[in-house]
Amino acid sequence: MKLFGTDGVRAVFGDYPMDVETIKKIGFSISQVLCQKVQNIYIGHDGRESFKSIYENLIQGILYNSKYNINFLGLIPTPAIPYILSTRKMNDSIGIQITASHNPYTDNGIKIFNSDGYKISSDDEKLIEKTVSSTDIFQNIVTCNYSIDSASTEIYLDYLSEKVDGNIDSSKTINIAIDCSNGSISNVFSNLNIKSNLSFQIFNNCPDGRNINYNCGAVYPETLSEYIINNNSKYKEHAAEWIDFGIAFDGDGDRSILVSNSGRIIDGDEILYILSKDYHVNNKVVVGTVMTNYGIRTALNNLGYSFIETDVGDRYVLEQVIENNAIIGAESSGHVVHNDITNIAIGDAATTLIKIAHLIQKTNLSIDEIYPRSIKVPSSLINIPVSDKDTWIENNQNIINKIKEILNGNGRILSRASGTQQLIRILIEHESKDVLNEAEKLIMDKLYL
């Protein structure tokens, strides 16, 4: 039975494959498939209440008939793990993050990284699935260690501090509002050791196991938008209190949504455009996904960029960034892969914050001045709960073709199965809001929901 979706293993905790017995089997399978030369395993989490049970049962499987050094990283952003692995430059290590990213606290999951800091290959995923299916249940034999490997966590904090000071000088204070989504990035910005004039207003940084992504963070950027609007209205005449921009992280800190000084919400597509517009590179290639907005694609082409399209999933964006030596790649959801700031191409939302702050300081312009209006064409994303994703798409192809006729070449429709949930996602885009509404109504009226 399939374990892996587009971004690791993920499910409601207690349901397959995130039930206790399967988690043990996953741990054992990781040791059998990935750990022939491994001595160190680095494990972090994003703060959900179920992490402890997952960690303990994962360890039971990993250490069954094997001995490894388990380096517990505690609450830490997912991007920190590949950075730690790539910085240590040891072929004897792998990393695991216990997270369900932007999902509610009731869900949890597992992301696995190889010694180079990249997510394991689809071939390795298949081998793990095969091993899980042939593994029997076994008894607990190990006592877990919860002492945090602070030497490793400091590697990531030092890296971010260095990049902040290397990209932001002390000429102007930049005030940034940060919504941590009560997740894995909650302790990061308060622990940076920086000399630059960055001022952080940090909130939703108190994870209690159940409040991750709850009405906050990248899933609900409206929370941050309202905060900035209220703050900047209150302190119109007080520059020291004015917020220059805000950034809302998701639960595991690998994606973010930008909010301008006026409260405008700016997604991953638009971040891709804003940063690409500022780059001056010979290899004018950027990477997006099938979900990247039609208007953004057109604007990037007008800037002279070749646009490489991938499937949804930051691993696919990352693969194409590396393969094409692209300067940047992004997903609409806020995953942004930067290929010019460290020794590893990485999707790190904290790096996006640094890039935006650098751009504001360099241009001496606000986000609203840099990007005064959205260039996205009108769009609608419809999520349809289904029991069988493949059958649904096959049975409803006629209505999809009918909508293509309505759009008449000035937009597009995309239907795809979610890689992490039992949903069909239908994206419709068109230059005309009226045509978009017509197509959307046709779906709602005709499709079997």
Do the strands 245-249 and 174-179 form a parallel or antiparallel pair, or are they unpaired? parallel
CATH (domain of 404): 3.30.310.50
pLDDT tens, 363-407? 999 999 999 999 999 999 998 888 888 888 888 888 889 999 999
Q: How far apart are CA 104 and CA 389, in angstroms?
A: 22
Whether the pLDDT of residue 449 is over 70: the answer is no
Would you list the DSSP string of 306-361?
Answer: EEEEE-SSHHHHHHHHHHHT-SEEE-TTSBEEESSSSSS-EE-HHHHHHHHHHHHH
Which pLDDT band holds residue 416 (cuts at 50, 70, 90)? confident
Residues 304 and 366 in one domain: yes
For residue 361, pLDDT over 80 is answered with yes
pLDDT score recorded for residue 30: 96
Same domain, residue pair 392 and 270: no
Length of the chain, in residues: 449
Q: In what order do the strands lie in the sheet with 174-179?
A: 198-203, 174-179, 245-249, 256-259, 265-266
CATH code of the domain in which 345 resides: 3.40.120.10
* Position 351 confidence tier, pLDDT thresholds 50, 70, 90: very high
Strand order in the sheet with 285-289: 306-310, 285-289, 328-330, 336-338, 346-347
- What's the CA gap between 26 and 137, in Å, rounded? 11
Quickly state the pLDDT bin for 243 (edges 50, 70, 90).
very high
Q: Which tens digits make up the pLDDT trace of 61-101?
A: 999 988 899 999 999 999 999 999 998 877 899 999 999 99
Crossing angle for the helix pair 349-363 and 268-278, to the nearest 10 degrees: 50
Torsion (CA) 320, 321, 324, 328 in degrees, nearest 10: 140
Phi, psi of 189, rounded to the nearest 5 degrees:
-70, -25
On whether both 259 and 302 belong to a single domain, the answer is yes
26 and 142 co-located in one domain:
yes
For residues 365 and 383, state if they share a domain: no
Q: Tell me, yes or no, whether 237 and 364 share the same domain.
A: yes
Active site residues: 101
Count Cβ atoms within 10 A of the Cβ of residue 249 and give its class: 0-12 exposed, 13-18 middle, 19 or more buried. buried
Question: Is there a single domain that holds both residue 225 and residue 366?
Answer: yes
- pLDDT > 90: percent of the chain: 75
Q: Give the model's pLDDT for residue 72.
A: 98
Final residue of a domain: which of 148, 178, 200? 148
Residue that finishes a domain, picked among 92, 124, 148: 148
**pLDDT value for 447:** 62
Decide which of 121, 148, 175 is a domain's last residue: 148
Q: Report the number of distinct structural domains present in the chain.
A: 3
Nearest in space to 161 (alpha carbons), one of 198, 125, 124: 198
pLDDT in tens, 291-322: 999 999 999 999 999 999 999 889 999 999 99
Nearest-angstrom CA–CA distance, 144 and 162: 33
Q: Residue 255: is its pLDDT beyond 70?
A: yes
pLDDT tens digits for range 8-42: 999 999 999 999 999 999 999 999 999 888 999 99
Q: Which residue segment(s) compose the domain that 430 sits in?
A: 379-446
Same domain? 408 vs 298: no
pLDDT digits (tens, 9 = 90+) for 122-170: 999 999 999 999 998 777 777 888 999 999 999 999 999 999 999 998 7
DSSP reduced 3-state for 199: strand
State whether 142 and 15 are in the same domain: yes
Whether 323 and 418 map to the same domain: the answer is no
- The CA distance from 223 to 227, in Å, is 6
Same domain? 239 vs 279: yes
pLDDT over 90 at 445, yes or no: no
The reply to whether 109 and 190 lie within a common domain is: no
Helix axes 150-167, 349-363, angle to 10 degrees: 20
The overall average pLDDT reported for the chain is: 93
Q: Of all helices (H) and strands (E), which one includes residue 111?
A: strand 107-113
User: Percentage of residues in the chain with pLDDT exceeding 70?
Assistant: 99
- Residue 448 pLDDT class (50, 70, 90 cuts): low
**CA gap 190, 344 in Å, rounded:** 25
